[in-house]
Amino acid sequence: MSSIAFIGGGNMASCIIGGMVANGFDPLQIRVGTPSQSTRDRLSETTGTTSMADNHAAVAQADTVVLAVKPKIMRQVVEDLAPALSHKPIIISVAAGIPVAALKQWLGSEMPVIRAMPNTPSMVQAGATGLFTQSDLTTEQRSLVDKIFQAIGYSCWVSREELIDAVIAVSGSGPAYFFLVLEAMQNVAQELGLPEQIAEELSLHTALGASRMAMESGISAAELRDQVTSPGGTTQAAIQSFQQHGLEDIFRSAMTSAVARAQEMSKDFSS
């Protein structure tokens, strides 16, 4: 049975560990290094995993180490941890914006390093994670990484590290785009006279239904839209208005801004 250590027991680590335990990982194979007693108590109560303040002890037997601390303290945490990693476990970093080269430099010796970019819906096991590595992983190692992130939703591998910035722009920041759309729909629904609760519930169920339909039908989004847009009908009137206002250009501009910001943030860790 592989042994997995988490360094940092905060929001993202709790989501991943919660998903893992709900999907058949044994809590006994998971150890967490995290400084606060309150975080350790919460993790042991909610997941049954063993937590400790000593990061070196947490990684001592681990085949896989998931780094889940804030980017600004990652260097200090990794440099301190490096002497305890002479058994060369797989290192997975979920930190936004920290390139593989920086992690390798801080680790100081060669071991497999993976960047993972999960998103917030991981909290309800409906996350989407992009993964990247330039290390040669064995089939077992790759499938363990897949299993960890599939425990919190969907996961995929990208072939070049720059594509992690695209993943950030699509799925990392993406939940907020949909929250913004929901907020706009709910506000306008109320302006059209619907009570607040109905405006909220109709918008939410529509988002869920459209998303499930797109996932389960195997039909492309463009084709689905076409199917529900009768000529001269209400949907066509709305879609035409979106297109006249340049909806796709709005997304292009927003998502390229997200990529540019991700690139800028990575530069802080690239020297």
Ligand X SMILES: NC(=O)c1ccc[n+]([C@@H]2O[C@H](COP(=O)([O-])OP(=O)(O)OC[C@H]3O[C@@H](n4cnc5c(N)ncnc54)[C@H](OP(=O)(O)O)[C@@H]3O)[C@@H](O)[C@H]2O)c1
- The reply on whether position 129 binds ligand X by CB under 6 A is no
Q: How far apart are CA 31 and CA 181, in angstroms?
A: 39
CB of 231 to ligand X, least distance (A): 42
Q: What string of DSSP letters covers 48-72? A: --EEES-HHHHHTT-SEEEE-S-HH
Asked if residue 99 binds ligand X (CB under 6 A), the reply is: no
- Look up residue 73 and give its amino acid: I
Of 90 and 152, which has the nearer Cβ to ligand X? Answer: 152
Closer by beta carbon to ligand X, 70 or else 87: 70
Q: Which is nearer to ligand X, 67 or 189 (CB)?
A: 67
Q: What are phi and psi of 203, to 5 degrees?
A: -65, -45
Q: With contact defined as beta carbons under 8 Å apart, do 189 and 203 qualify?
A: yes
Token duo for residue 16: 């991943």
Report the residue from 4, 5, 8, 31 that binds ligand X according to the rule CB under 6 A: 8
Task: List 167's β-bridge partners, or say none.
Answer: none
Q: How many residues bind ligand X (CB under 6 A)?
A: 25
- Residue 34 interacting with ligand X (CB under 6 A): yes
Is 35 a residue that touches ligand X (CB under 6 A)? yes
- One residue of 4, 7, 85, 258 binding ligand X per CB under 6 A: 7
Select 78 or 189, whichever has its Cβ closest to ligand X: 78
Q: Report the residue number, 19 or 186, with the smaller CB distance to ligand X.
A: 19
Q: Token match 């250590």: residue?
A: 5
Is the CB of 176 or the CB of 228 nearer to ligand X?
176
CA dihedral 124, 125, 130, 136 (to 10 degrees): 150
36 binds ligand X (CB under 6 A): yes
Q: Closest residue (Cβ) to ligand X?
A: 10
Could you tell me if 139 and 229 are in contact, meaning their C-beta atoms sit under 8 angstroms apart? no
CB of 71 to ligand X, least distance (A): 5
Q: What is the C-alpha to C-alpha distance for residues 133 and 99, in angstroms, rounded to an integer?
A: 10
Binding to ligand X (CB under 6 A) within 103-122 occurs at: 118-120
Question: How far apart are alpha carbons 73 and 64 in whole angstroms?
Answer: 20
Q: Given the rule CB under 6 A, which residues bind ligand X? A: 7-13, 33-36, 39, 55, 68-71, 73, 77, 94-96, 118-120
